[in-house]
Amino acid sequence: MPSLGSHMAHARIVADRLGLPEIDADRGAFYLGSTAPDIRVITRMDRRVTHFFELDELAAQDSVAAMFAAHPGLALPAGLDAATTAFIAGYLTHLVLDESFISEVYRPHFGALSGQPEDPRANVLDRALQYELDRRDREDRDAMEQIRSAIASTRPPGGIPFIADEHLVEWVTVSEDVASHPPDFGRFRRMMTRHLERAGYALDEINTYCDEPTALVAEAFNVVNEERIGRFWHDAEERMTDRVRNYLR
């Protein structure tokens, strides 16, 4: 699934497209919401708790509808405070983007619907692709600084029923730090080593790939090309925009 930098960058695109007062009232909460489903990084809770999506279920799923069915108090912005409204709007962008990536990129090219669904090396290429897409999204340093600054200035909403308040406070610091990462390969070795090990790569291969990360990225783009990724971003942004608009309007 897309990394946090990509989630924030494309949430910003959605916010700019919509120009709605409910989002602009607290852009920080909106961007925080766009990262919050991945809060399991610090809580270690099951992914399903915050994503409302079953990875092993290949039938079509609607994670936004599942969240609102489980927590109907969040389904209507009326009655929510400004920070919570913006946060949930951002949260929707994450759910929709993950769902789109799983169905349009991961499963058909690297996962269960690909030619080699059991090949652990496919997961390595998927992670390399995610890293590169995230790195590209970070190249707009002005945009990422705006996101970081907004997150740093926000006060996270309380009372989100599936996220403890103290965890969300901690997540502000995590998201602010993530937004500040430069668009380089400085974190590539740390992220990719365990995936390469699990896929059966030898130590010398792991070192080669981590020393020359663009080689692994090139392999990933041999599986899913630039044109396909461009269509994915276009379609995903349309879906995110529509879902947030429908929620707020």
**Domain coordinates in residue numbering, the chain:** 4-248
pLDDT at res. 93: 98
Centre a 10 Å sphere on the Cβ of residue 81 and count the other Cβ atoms it contains.
15
Mean pLDDT of 65-72: 98
Q: What percent of the chain has pLDDT over 70?
A: 100
Mean pLDDT of 2-23: 98
pLDDT in tens, 188-228: 999 999 999 999 999 999 999 999 999 999 999 999 999 99
* Residue 57: both structure tokens together: 């279920």
Mean pLDDT of 59-88: 96
pLDDT at res. 175: 98
Over 80: is that where the pLDDT of 117 sits?
A: no
Over 80: is that where the pLDDT of 171 sits?
A: yes
* Residue 38: both structure tokens together: 């991945």
pLDDT at res. 119: 84
Q: What percent of the chain has pLDDT over 90?
A: 95
Residue pointed to by tokens 């999204």: 137
* Residue 226: both structure tokens together: 């630039």
Q: How far from the centroid of its chain's Cα atoms is residue 237's Cα?
A: 13
* Residue 193: both structure tokens together: 């080593």
For the four alpha carbons of 148, 25, 17 and 87, in that order, the dihedral sign comes to: positive
User: By C-alpha distance, which of 155, 10, 5, 38 is closest to 87?
Assistant: 155
pLDDT at res. 96: 98
pTM of the model: 0.96
Distance, in Å, from the CA atom of 214 to the CA atom of 153, rounded to the nearest integer, reads: 36
pLDDT at res. 177: 97
Mean pLDDT of 105-127: 90
Task: Show the CA angle centred on residue 193, arms to residues 233 and 143, nearest 5°.
Answer: 35
pLDDT at res. 242: 98
pLDDT at res. 102: 97
Task: Show the CA angle centred on residue 223, arms to residues 222 and 226, nearest 5°.
Answer: 65
What element of type H or E holds 12?
A: helix 4-18
pLDDT at res. 118: 74
* Residue 217: both structure tokens together: 């990225």
107: Cβ contacts below 8 Å, ≥ 6 apart:
58, 113, 114
pLDDT at res. 120: 85
Residue type, 197: E
Over 90: is that where the pLDDT of 116 sits?
A: no
Confidence of residue 115 (pLDDT cuts 50, 70, 90): confident
Task: Show the CA angle centred on residue 185, arms to residues 115 and 132, nearest 5°.
Answer: 35
pLDDT at res. 36: 98
Distance, in Å, from the CA atom of 213 to the CA atom of 219, rounded to the nearest integer, reads: 10
Lowest model confidence (mean pLDDT) among 57-61, 112-116, 159-163: 112-116
Q: Longest Cα pair distance anywhere in the chain, in angstroms?
A: 58
pLDDT at res. 248: 97
